Structure 1
């Protein structure tokens, strides 16, 4: 594949990743604002929000290096989709569990996206892109691992609160 084609694929992937990370923010921010009984979840979401904001900045830097910009339309569309998804769980009696499942799935979506982009970046010889993508990937993998390791505790706390007659949603 010609270098111009690789570059085009990378730029498209970076724009998609930028929109994906904005979607992640639109999912996490409403969640963290509603959490009351799960302080460890709130703390980890706040940490990942900060990581996601850094990921967005890194992606913008890469897009600038290609003398292009992110896609405002993609950003807006995926942010709206993320907000709708986050709001959908607020009516559930087990909101914290549904959010945990959705976050776990979304983290793995992001992991897959970054892994695919890494292949394209390596094929095109874009070392600076590869380094950034690896950094973002590691942060997503760490969040997915945390969610995996903490699902049992979140579920146990949910069940305990529910049994005690307390609001167990968030």
Structure 2
């Protein structure tokens, strides 16, 4: 077991803390790659919900910027994204989106998944903030805080549109429209 010394600022000075921090950043990178797949698959199919498409387009641009932030941090840490994690999460994102396409309420399933995914991302970035501080990389915190603010805003917007989206889905279904997407 590696010796861990906590210095006066509360930082942990150990190889293990550094390894865990790098792993956390790589996992966040893979998570954002998964997000791009989920968003892209949904954007390919949305027809009746331009308000959802607009939000997803905006968040896709934010997600791509988040990936760049993580790439920069990984470079500063002398590391790179985990290709295995990135590939696995991208496949997972594609599979999740594909699974919803067969549902008669695809838009609702995607909406619920998006809300949950945004909550997951918020927890991830709160964890990265703690890891960066504990591992002695406070200079990275502002990047994570910027991403966290974007995730919180998207979460809030998605959650706030739940009732309106539900009613629209029901109305389109009652009118015989293509409501599922």
Kindly state the Cα deviation for residue 96 of structure 1 after the two structures are TM-superposed: 0.5
Pairs within 5 Å for 1:28-39: 28-39=39-50
Deviations 1:94-136 (A, max 9, x none): 0000000000011111111111111111122312211111111
Q: Could you state the TM-score of these two structures normalised by the residue count of structure 1? A: 0.97
Residue 18 of structure 1 corresponds to: 29
Structure 1 residue runs without a partner (length 5+): none
Matching of residue 119 in structure 1 with residue 130 in structure 2 = yes
Aligned length: 170
Deviations 1:41-100 (A, max 9, x none): 000000000100000000000000011110011100110011000000001110000000
SS in 2 for 1:165: coil
Matching of residue 69 in structure 1 with residue 107 in structure 2 = no
Distance 2:136 2:144 in 1: 13
Structure 2 residue runs without a partner (length 5+): 5-12
Larger Rg: 2
Residue 149 of structure 1 corresponds to: 160
Matching of residue 49 in structure 1 with residue 63 in structure 2 = no
SS in 2 for 1:70: coil
Distance 1:135 1:24 in 2: 17
SS in 1 for 2:177: coil
Distance 1:95 1:162 in 2: 12
Q: 2:120 aligns with which of 100, 109, 116?
A: 109
Residue 135 of structure 1 corresponds to: 146
Kindly state the Cα deviation for residue 5 of structure 1 after the two structures are TM-superposed: 2.7
Residue 69 of structure 2 corresponds to: 58
Distance 2:145 2:62 in 1: 13
Distance 1:81 1:36 in 2: 23
